[in-house]
Structure 1
Amino acid sequence: MTELLPNHVAGRWQGGSGAGTPLFDPVLGTELVRVDATGLDLPAAFAFAREQGGHALRALSYRQRAGLLGAIVKVLQANRDAYYEIATANSGTVKNDSAVDIDGAIFTLGQYAKWGDALGDVRALRDGDAARLGKEPVFQSQHLQVPTQGVALFINAFNFPSWGLWEKAAPALLSGVPVIVKPATATAWLTQRMVRDVVDAGVLPAGALSVVCGSSAGLMDALQPFDVVSFTGSAETAALIRSHPAVAERSVRVNIEADSLNSALLLPGAAAGSEAFNLLVREVVREMTVKSGQKCTAIRRILVPAEVYDAAAEAIGAKLMGVTVGNPRNESVRMGSLVSRAQLNAVSEGLEALSAQTTVLYDGRNTPLIDAEPAVAACIGPVLLGARDADAAQRVHDVEVFGPVATLLPYRDLAHGIALAHRGQGSLVTSLYGSDDAALAQAALAVASSHGRVHVITPEVAQAHTGHGNVMPMSMHGGPGRAGGGSELGGLRALDFYHRRSAVQASPGVLAHLGL
């Protein structure tokens, strides 16, 4: 039997009491390790994190906790090669895609270490200026933010086992809140290994960082009123979390990132072959193929003026034709596999659901795989769909296929294109392409209400923009409506989720001693 990865809870490594769930290499089909959380005393684990980890973290200033993040960065950098090997084996990603997950996480931690250091040696944050409560300034109200005296539970998705942990943990730990992470089972190995390295390095107080691998049963039950939970995954699971007594009755704060049918919109006037047109084509192909399309921020709907629909289909298809698919260990492979055969089946089912209202413009499913057996590997080539009647193709606006799949849709005029972008019912990101600054600015304002992030690409930023699907720690990550209504990152705004706001009403002398 393969190794059973231990969990780290209550300040020590503990194995589950069951046989464990196997994790597989999605290309070779071989069993790698097993995970199991059966028999863990979760209430005791949460209590230890709250009392031991939380107390130790809150005893430190923001600057000191920023130093802890910097120490984590050094641990992760020292073990970076091992993380790449695990990502290749367990997630089936090529090196560049592993970098998005692993190096993106390290970069995010480094940013919060820098921002936290600038907050200084304080233990609470000023929230605005003091306000008079009467005619004379002898009695005032000062709003402040203090760390919540609970634990942060992360229930994460399978596609980013590294970044998904650290983009949440960085602001949580900086805030003084201990973390318990439950990674998605299919790709839990990388998360578990990173936590193991950090814990074994002794850079964090006991109880500050815990990991539970295996079933999530009982995790929500262990939450108390001052805890917070952050979930990334399906809308169905998000609904269960929102209805759980911890949230509905004990008022546990919850952040949700769910389904997202992100769009890319080419503004009118961008002719086929223009620089803006070419930038759209390049970004669509990149978003369809990075991590095999398994990104919450990937482009799913491509909105173009009706007059360039055929040219866009041809240009995108031509670039997709050059995408090699197969074993990520082969240097000639550009796109690896999905994370599992189960995910491959889900993508196939999603394509079937869309087929009734779309046509196939480019079909990479028959592309020969490199160094991979089709009957074993969870590989699929990119598929570009199209629907000439964008209004009638309702499923395209409702069904997200979480893989290398996107649909091309024509619009009549800009108002129609913007309306189609809103048909996603709330998305994490949309990207706009054009060369008219004023028109792009107005379009950005028009779509902002239903998108957490608006990424505007003009020829001037062709080499400088960070990418439609890349989530940078400086910008907000989240979206309204079906995207979950959550908000992460956005610089120090991320600390809001882990703090409680309070108003202290007192004399100026008392307020001066708050240490803000």
Structure 2
Amino acid sequence: MNTSSPLLPNYLAGRWQTGSGPGALLRDPVLGTELVRVSNGGLDLIEGFAFARDQGGRALRAMTYAERAAMLAAAAKVLQSHRDAYYEIATANSGTTAKDSAVDIDGGLFTLGYYAKQGEALGDVRFMLDGPAARMAKDPTFQSQHIMVPTHGVALFINAFNFPSWGLWEKAAPALLSGVPVIIKPATATAWLTQRMVQDVIDAGVLPAGALSVVCGSSNGLMDALQPFDVLSFTGSAETAHVIRSHRAVAAQSVRVNIEADSLNSALLAPGTAADSDVFKLLVSEVVREMTVKAGQKCTAIRRIFVPAALYDAASQAISAKLAGVTVGNPRNASVRMGSLVSREQLDAVQAGLAQLRAEAEVLHDGASHTLVDADPAIAACVGPTLLGTRHPDAARVLHEVEVFGPVATLMPYASLDEALALIRRGQGSLVTSVYGDDPAFIADAAIELASSHGRVHAISPDVAALHSGHGNVMPMSLHGGPGRAGGGEELGGLRALNFYHRRSAIQASTAALKRLGAA
């Protein structure tokens, strides 16, 4: 390995530290050129966690919610001033177009700003009341009041490679607002952007020492440093999630854990829809967007498309026609609409997954038909969008079990709405599903039926065509997470996100004492 590429420092125990050894090399996924290296070899993780837990946590808890909100606003200003540099890093390290980089970078900044405003509204208090006081007996003198206080631990984030900016700030914003210090372990493949953002905020001095740390490279030993009042949030594969849940920190010490794992998200077109209707066109446009934004590397991307059986051929032709016009290649070329996957390893994984799906499906639009623009197929991790289809989704197994994390989706017809709902549920729990129709009654009924197996139901009708945020866009005011195979976790959802970083306790005391808490 060429070790001339710079080694990014980690920030732990209140100081910048360079890991030992050559580290892992990050490459440009389009050009194949070497960028930077990351390593946390030799770092004293126990010391670093203790510093964050003790000094960072103490300093944050001494502040009110409003003061911590002002701290988030200051961090957002720092990040905004370096925005151009982040776009350059995203293009080089993630292979994304400027539009796709914005989903990650500007999405992260928006979320940070959102929680700054939410925290300001909480005011100058250091804990939250949870509901009204309740009498313990007929005499109201003795009552019970539930309160929410920040946990006296650290928040460890083990993140995925697809959102190095948003994945950091959508977790860190509610944690810091809650008064809990953050230790972020970014996915190695795209760690550069996360590390740079943390560096800019640390260097600006807008956070207390120990409030924010970053450890790049291997995740070995991180969970061993956790203690009972710490919390852990993980985004990644179901396989790794299983390892995390079985770790002693979770199994024996009851470290609170939030998991976001695999998700076979769906799109459902209403029965009786006409092929020339606005609703049909909305479905087609959204499917194409979800397949191609960030080259399909979104945990919320549409993977299965359910349409009335009579519209299978029409949907196949319409979606394929739009996909055929998507230019793929070097994001530095202004004509390119879809950039690359994050690495050649990810390209291999997508191709292997496609082979699995093709055993049960026909190819409706072949991604191999796309000629790469300004990119060498022998070097670049670029792949064209592929639309698969099956006329017998009820007989399929792999199509309802395997998620290919790239620009791949499968079209499936249904004979009745009940059949469509049953097929969607075969995904065994997903982050999001979207329904397309112009009948409010259908949308409401379908949403209720799908809610138990999805963290979010996104309904698109002609009256909100210009307003909706998009099937795959995660907005901070709505819940992000999902049951079953999606991990069973919950993030965001406005101030609901703060619950994960707080501990609930019942204070049983006299009415006079509870009044001191602002209750009773």
Bin the TM-score by the shorter chain.
Answer: over 0.9
Whether 1:87 and 2:90 are equivalent positions in the alignment is yes
The Cα of 1:514 is off from its aligned counterpart by: 1.9
Deviations 1:365-398 (A, max 9, x none): 2311100000000000000000100111111100
Whether 1:30 and 2:33 are equivalent positions in the alignment is yes
Counterpart of 2:335? 332
Counterpart of 2:150? 147
Counterpart of 2:512? 509
Counterpart of 1:57? 60
Counterpart of 2:408? 405
The Cα of 1:138 is off from its aligned counterpart by: 0.3
Counterpart of 1:185? 188
Counterpart of 1:388? 391
Any idea what SS the aligned residue of 1:255 has? strand
The Cα of 1:92 is off from its aligned counterpart by: 0.1
How far apart are the structure 1 equivalents of 2:350 and 2:22?
29
Whether 1:478 and 2:481 are equivalent positions in the alignment is yes
How far apart are the structure 1 equivalents of 2:447 and 2:368?
35
Counterpart of 1:69? 72
Counterpart of 2:427? 424
C-alpha contact (below 8 Å) 1:122/1:515 kept by paired residues: no
C-alpha contact (below 8 Å) 1:433/1:456 kept by paired residues: yes
Whether 1:316 and 2:319 are equivalent positions in the alignment is yes
Any idea what SS the aligned residue of 1:263 has? strand
Any idea what SS the aligned residue of 1:444 has? helix
Amino acid of the structure 2 residue aligned with 1:150: G
Amino acid of the structure 1 residue aligned with 2:401: D
Deviations 1:39-87 (A, max 9, x none): 0000000000000000000000000000010001001100000000000
How far apart are the structure 2 equivalents of 1:182 and 1:273?
48
> What are the within-5 Å matches in structure 2 for residues 194-233 of structure 1?
194-233=197-236
Amino acid of the structure 2 residue aligned with 1:489: L
Q: 2:438 aligns with which of 405, 426, 435?
A: 435
Counterpart of 1:462? 465
How far apart are the structure 2 equivalents of 1:418 and 1:31?
47
How far apart are the structure 2 equivalents of 1:175 and 1:91?
31
How far apart are the structure 1 equivalents of 2:462 and 2:114?
28
Whether 1:344 and 2:332 are equivalent positions in the alignment is no
Deviations 1:319-363 (A, max 9, x none): 001100000000000000000000000000000001110000001
- The unaligned stretches of length 5 or more in structure 1 are none
How far apart are the structure 1 equivalents of 2:342 and 2:254?
35
How far apart are the structure 2 equivalents of 1:502 and 1:372?
58
Whether 1:282 and 2:323 are equivalent positions in the alignment is no
> What are the within-5 Å matches in structure 2 for residues 157-168 of structure 1?
157-168=160-171
Amino acid of the structure 2 residue aligned with 1:159: N
Amino acid of the structure 2 residue aligned with 1:497: F
Any idea what SS the aligned residue of 2:29 has? coil
The Cα of 1:512 is off from its aligned counterpart by: 1.1
Deviations 1:198-243 (A, max 9, x none): 0000000000000000000000000000000000000000000000
Whether 1:129 and 2:138 are equivalent positions in the alignment is no
- The unaligned stretches of length 5 or more in structure 2 are none
Deviations 1:430-461 (A, max 9, x none): 00001111011101100110000000000000
Q: 1:363 aligns with which of 345, 363, 366?
A: 366
Deviations 1:125-183 (A, max 9, x none): 00000000000110000000000000000000000000000000000000000000000
Counterpart of 2:309? 306
C-alpha contact (below 8 Å) 1:112/1:174 kept by paired residues: yes
Whether 1:112 and 2:115 are equivalent positions in the alignment is yes
> What are the within-5 Å matches in structure 2 for residues 217-256 of structure 1?
217-256=220-259
> Superposition RMSD on alpha carbons, in Å?
0.5
Counterpart of 1:18? 21
Counterpart of 2:499? 496
How far apart are the structure 2 equivalents of 1:28 and 1:379?
11
Worse-matched range after superposition: 308-317 or 390-399: 390-399
Any idea what SS the aligned residue of 2:368 has? coil
Any idea what SS the aligned residue of 1:218 has? coil
The Cα of 1:515 is off from its aligned counterpart by: 4.7
How far apart are the structure 1 equivalents of 2:78 and 2:300?
28
Amino acid of the structure 1 residue aligned with 2:182: V
How far apart are the structure 2 equivalents of 1:388 and 1:60?
59
C-alpha contact (below 8 Å) 1:129/1:142 kept by paired residues: yes
How far apart are the structure 2 equivalents of 1:362 and 1:15?
47
TM-score, structure 1 normalization: 1.00
How far apart are the structure 2 equivalents of 1:273 and 1:216?
51
How far apart are the structure 2 equivalents of 1:284 and 1:377?
25
TM-score, structure 2 normalization: 0.99
How far apart are the structure 1 equivalents of 2:257 and 2:381?
33
The Cα of 1:271 is off from its aligned counterpart by: 1.1
How far apart are the structure 1 equivalents of 2:28 and 2:22?
19
Any idea what SS the aligned residue of 1:365 has? helix
Counterpart of 1:40? 43
How far apart are the structure 2 equivalents of 1:37 and 1:163?
23
